[in-house]
Amino acid sequence: MHKYLLLVALLSVTTAQAQRVISLYDGKAPGSESWTWQEAENTKNLFQTRVIYNVSTPTLTAYLPDPATATGTAVVVAPGGGFHTLSIDSEGIDVAKWLNSKGVAAFVLKYRLIHSLTTDPVAELMGKMGDSKKLDAENAPVVPLAITDGKRAMEYVRSHAAEFGLRPDRIGLMGFSAGGTVTMGVGFDYTPANRPDFLAPIYPYLGTGAIARQVVPADAPPLFVCAATDDQLKLAPHSAKLYTDWIAAGKPAELHMYAKGGHGFGMRRQKLPSDSWIERFGEWLASSGFLTK
């Protein structure tokens, strides 16, 4: 009998931790119908973290909080990786688990990426970092597809809000680096169906080669921006400009610019003040009314 109860308990825990993977399109994603490569992962690379690459079938993975603490708020999370990889843990799953601890549902987005020709996509990307214009040109055909995936993700979560116990007016979009490009690609150009209720671009890349039109919408949602001054890719000004553009338009915005942290800090622990950025985001969510039940 005790063995049976233990088995039931283990099954219950496993079920509670299981996550749901959602395909964003029926069949091939529009615009990449000819892509035949398969999604893969790499754990031994210069980033020293697990990355996903060769995404051709965009998906969302749902991470849902304990119903007892759920607030009805959700965040679609877009990891970064230069449109060649997705830093799926520190900029995706780890963020989702932290959000769950605050009663927020999270949906980690795998958006379409450049086709990697080797099993080490990080090395491929790093070999191209010296020429930003050339990298922008290579990424250019994929960036609109990735932004479309971001819009599709917002539409899916909002249209299924009741199913997930969410409020359709509390669905935000967060993205890191290239995921920040996706976030603001949606944030600058949306419809009522895919408008984020709040935006959280974290050290986003906002070069004109990525997003041509960067005009603050008349009904722009509240904005939380975070980056580090010592960003190796020199992207700190992108975040600063985004913040100043938002407040110049009279829209709510909050900026956290850390002196140190580098690029791609995500949920990594570096024993720096930037380690606590996610706590600041939680405070911002609370002060904005997104954590009330």
pLDDT at position 284, please?
Answer: 98
pLDDT at position 230, please?
Answer: 98
Q: 173 φ, ψ to 5°?
A: -135, 125
* Best CA proximity match to 265, nearest among 255, 273, 274: 274
- The pLDDT of residue 4 is above 90: no
**For 121-143, what is each residue's pLDDT tens digit?**
999 999 999 898 999 999 999 99
pLDDT at position 19, please?
Answer: 82
**For 56-97, what is each residue's pLDDT tens digit?**
999 999 999 999 999 999 999 999 999 999 999 999 999 999
- The pLDDT of residue 11 is above 50: no
What lies within 8 Å, CB to CB, of 228 at 6+ separation is 203, 236, 257, 258, 259, 260, 261, 262, 263, 265, 274
From the centroid of its chain, how far is CA 280?
17
- The domain ranges of the chain are 31-287
- pTM of the entire predicted model: 0.93
d(CA 107, CA 74): 8
**For 233-281, what is each residue's pLDDT tens digit?**
999 999 999 999 999 999 999 999 999 999 999 999 999 999 999 999 9
pLDDT at position 18, please?
Answer: 46
pLDDT at position 16, please?
Answer: 39
pLDDT at position 17, please?
Answer: 43
Q: Which residue has the higher pLDDT, 224 or 213?
A: 224
Reported CATH class of domain 31-287 = alpha beta
Q: Which residue has the higher pLDDT, 267 or 12?
A: 267
